[in-house]
Structure 1
Amino acid sequence: MKKLCVSELLGSRTLDALRPIRRQERLRLVATLNEAAARGTIIDVSEELHKASNNGIIRMVTGMSDGGGVHEVRGLVKGVAETIGTLNLSDFVWVLRGVDVRGIKRRIDEVHRRFDEVLERIIGRKEEERRRGGGGGLGRAKDLLDILLEVAEDEKAEFKLTRENIKGFVLDIFTAGSDTTAAVLEWALSELINNPTIQHKAQQELDSVVGKHRLVEESDVPNLPYLQSIVKETLRLHPPAPISHRIATRDVKILDYDVPADTIVFVNMWSLHRDPDHWVNPLEFRPERFEDRVAEEKQKNLLHYAPFGGGRRGCPGASLGLDVLHMTLASLVQCFEWEVVGGRVDMEEGVGLTLPRENPLVCLPRVRLNPFPYNIHG
């Protein structure tokens, strides 16, 4: 599955083919914020970021249009995230084993049943399209589910994909690829609002490279090093997956601890990123640290900066995640100035698997660049 992800599902060719979907969702987000700015109304930016991120992932995986089907799946993705992140006493108190104290097992079973029904319906529709000779996806582009079904039907494939494999993979992509991206964007925008000098420097870079008469595009990102540094610094301070765990395959010594084989090892990625021995002022939001070539070498050669993990178990969706992060953040910075009540965003962290904000990011956007009229469906 890892090989399939890297070579086909999340490879550069597939991501390029699905670029129109990412662009449509980005334009839709900007249009929503533009409307709020025109009305002079405060908007829950957190909610809009999560909606755009979820919609994009769901459409890239299934090829769905942006109608009611996406809304239904988005609700189920939220249900999965909520049940995964809920503390279940039965898992920790032995005498409660087998007792559904808070009704969590019942909720998990219900979410599973509904998700399975939806995925069966989506897969069934895809299979009917394939029987009729249609390719699905956007024009000639295949979505991720098209590719999975092709592999499952290929008698010469290196391994056999079952229907349960496909549904499990789709569920993983839905849950892992949505909230993580939105959470990082929330933190990035929060840091920029609280650091206006950094935000202004990013806007100057965008004005210099892109200009003031068009919206930033993916092809501009290689020429926006400071924007890339802002994303890296956000991932360093606010890693979307703060806890990583591995199983030791042999007896090993980690620091001063003897770790036997088959032991589960938990790594606090958050502390790793803030290691004061390797970063100057580690708690300060300072994108300039990534303009330092020494810091770049640390990033490449050591695991002091590892927001996507490392080695064979590194996140296969890193390229997709970075594409969405760079483009969405660039659009938010290029098109809007941001006002918050009290003039400063609170940076309190919530509890969850993806290091969320404790409180939603609520802002009043002010139009800096109006990119419309733009064809959202183009």
Structure 2
Amino acid sequence: MTAIPYVLAFFTLLFITVFIQYIFKRPCKKPAGYCPPPSPPSLPLIGHLHLLTPVAYKGFHALSNKYGPLLYLRLATYPAVLVSSAPLATEIFKALDVHFASRIKSPFDDNLLFGSSTSFFNAPYGDYWKFMKKICTTELLGTSQMKKLKNVRREEVVRFLSKMLEIGQKNEVANLSAEILTLANNSTCRMIMSARCSGEDNQAEKCRALVSESFDLASKLALLSVFGPLKRIGMWYLRKKIAAVPKRYDELFENILLEHEEKAKREGPNMENKDLMDILLEVYHDENAEIRITRKQMKTFFLDLFTGGTNTTSDAILWILAELVSHPAAFKKLREEIDSVVGAERLVDEADIPSMPYFQACVKEAMRLNPPVPLFDRICCENCKLAGYDIPKGITMIMNAYSIMRDPEIWDNPNDFIPERFLTEVDNARAKNLQVYVPFGGGRRMCPGINMTSSLINCSVTAVVQCFDWKVIGGEGSYGSKVNMDTKPGVVKSMDKPFMAIPVLHNNLFSV
């Protein structure tokens, strides 16, 4: 009971703060001819917050269906423009890409480990971001480095398949959501720093836990930032966590970096089996580098890779498998393609993927329907026009990939899983046009980790289809039918309920 006065005081302060901002920060008169995007009906103080839904991208999708593909929204004190159609995305990422080449500022202060000044993913468009993008493309996350790490991914996939075999032999139910997350965590940890996230290596497990805490803390700070000055109150309330999480992460990665530096000294410049941390350390110690990166920037970059390479990758694999299991004809057709390319004597390999057009079509279609990050942001760097409307400098653009890739003007039967659509020249060309097909974002700020995510998707999904059948538990309909495709509340597209299924061995090609 003693907490009630504090709760009332908080909401009273919230109301007063937002009211004052509403009075003193109301938009001033615009110049003659100024034409802002259309806006749904709003309420005083809260603006359009009442129109949002727990599943954010679906709420935005409903808004665009009702009011149009380009909308001005005011989320309490936070103005934004919502983009929900493929033609608008094309205009942004082609004609106006340089105007929207920056992302929103990190909710963490710049003096913290996770601040925008150190994060590559959130860094402003400039020299540091361009340098890191080039390093990612040519050395860290390029096709060549991913090929060198192929055995790492294969070992983790075989470990996953062996676990499924053990569960299936006991006729037990596998929690695929948990097991595939472990697969993604282990693969990412080993590619970045040669350590697994489960088992005896406690460092990697600590890193996984810290990534989870960071996500939780960032989401709270992002929510508070909508209410302007109240963010400071929230930061005061969360001050211990805001200080503790970056400090623990800094200490953990400093130890790992020191271990890698000692290994580099022992083995010399011709060191074999380099992970991503080894490569970035070489850049860090290169006195002739185009830009000298700091130790803090390195640590934040690895956090970026963990956050982008674990949960989102596991979500992508789960959605692809869910679509295939829920569509038996597609599952069967894919298995037949794998057998025709690989045969029945060996496990499918990443090198086989270019010879599997139907598999590639299945992945594209599942990602079109289920982008793991359906909402991504851009900042308008200077005043410009979009579709004839004025977009002011500094405003946040919310790009709804979920809507863009279900645009009925572009896709026939946009809500249906039809992999064959990507086997035709016309529709396959759409997939290559990243302004229409945007599961990884688009333009200059497209996700730099595409190769890392795609490589794990390729080796895991093909192996799972090749080796196992799946009896779904708790799905829609009767035993062994469709997977429950409901999604969790929030801004990412994650399954609301765990993907539970009994693995039934089809062909053991991984433990012989």
Normalising by structure 1, report the TM-score: 0.92
Q: Which residue does 1:123 correspond to in 2?
A: 257
Aligned partner of 1:309 among 441, 446, 467: 441
Q: Which residue does 1:81 correspond to in 2?
A: 215
Cα distance per residue 1:55-97 (max 9 Å; x no partner): 1111111122564232232222222233333476643345644
Q: Which residue does 2:187 correspond to in 1?
A: 56
Q: How does 1:242-261 map to 2 (within 5 A)?
A: 242-255=374-387, 257-261=389-393
- SS state at 2:488 partner: coil
Q: Which residue does 2:135 correspond to in 1?
A: 4
Q: Which residue does 1:177 correspond to in 2?
A: 309
Cα distance per residue 1:122-173 (max 9 Å; x no partner): 011112223334569xx71211111111111111111101101110111100
Q: Which residue does 1:213 correspond to in 2?
A: 345
Of 60-69 and 9-18, deviating more is 60-69
Number of aligned residues: 372
Q: Which residue does 1:186 correspond to in 2?
A: 318
Cα distance per residue 1:193-231 (max 9 Å; x no partner): 211111111111111111222111011111111111111
Q: Distance in 2 between matches of 1:95 and 1:148?
A: 38
Percent of pairs identical after alignment?
37
- SS state at 2:310 partner: helix
Aligned partner of 1:165 among 294, 297, 303: 297
Matching residue's letter, 1:344: K
Aligned partner of 2:410 among 270, 273, 278: 278
2:371 paired with 1:371: no
Aligned partner of 1:226 among 358, 365, 375: 358
Of 292-301 and 227-236, deviating more is 292-301
Question: Aligned-pair RMSD on alpha carbons?
Answer: 2.1
Q: Does the CA-based 8 Å contact 1:183-1:354 persist in structure 2?
A: no
Q: Distance in 2 between matches of 1:365 and 1:10?
A: 33
Q: Distance in 2 between matches of 1:373 and 1:366?
A: 15
Closer, same or farther in 2 for the Cα pair 1:353/1:177, shift >3 Å? farther
Q: Distance in 2 between matches of 1:102 and 1:286?
A: 50
Q: Does the CA-based 8 Å contact 1:183-1:356 persist in structure 2?
A: yes
* Offset at residue 9 of structure 1 (A): 0.4
Aligned partner of 1:35 among 150, 166, 170: 166
Q: Distance in 1 between matches of 2:396 and 2:363?
A: 31
Aligned partner of 1:320 among 452, 474, 479: 452
Closer, same or farther in 2 for the Cα pair 1:88/1:11, shift >3 Å? closer
Closer, same or farther in 2 for the Cα pair 1:363/1:90, shift >3 Å? same
- SS state at 2:233 partner: coil
* Offset at residue 104 of structure 1 (A): 4.3
Closer, same or farther in 2 for the Cα pair 1:61/1:304, shift >3 Å? same
- SS state at 2:297 partner: helix
Q: Distance in 2 between matches of 1:125 and 1:302?
A: 40
Normalising by structure 2, report the TM-score: 0.69
Closer, same or farther in 2 for the Cα pair 1:351/1:107, shift >3 Å? farther
2:315 paired with 1:198: no
Matching residue's letter, 2:152: I
- SS state at 2:503 partner: strand
Residue segments in structure 1 that go unaligned for 5+ positions in a row: none
Q: Does the CA-based 8 Å contact 1:135-1:146 persist in structure 2?
A: no
* Offset at residue 42 of structure 1 (A): 0.2
Q: Distance in 2 between matches of 1:89 and 1:304?
A: 29
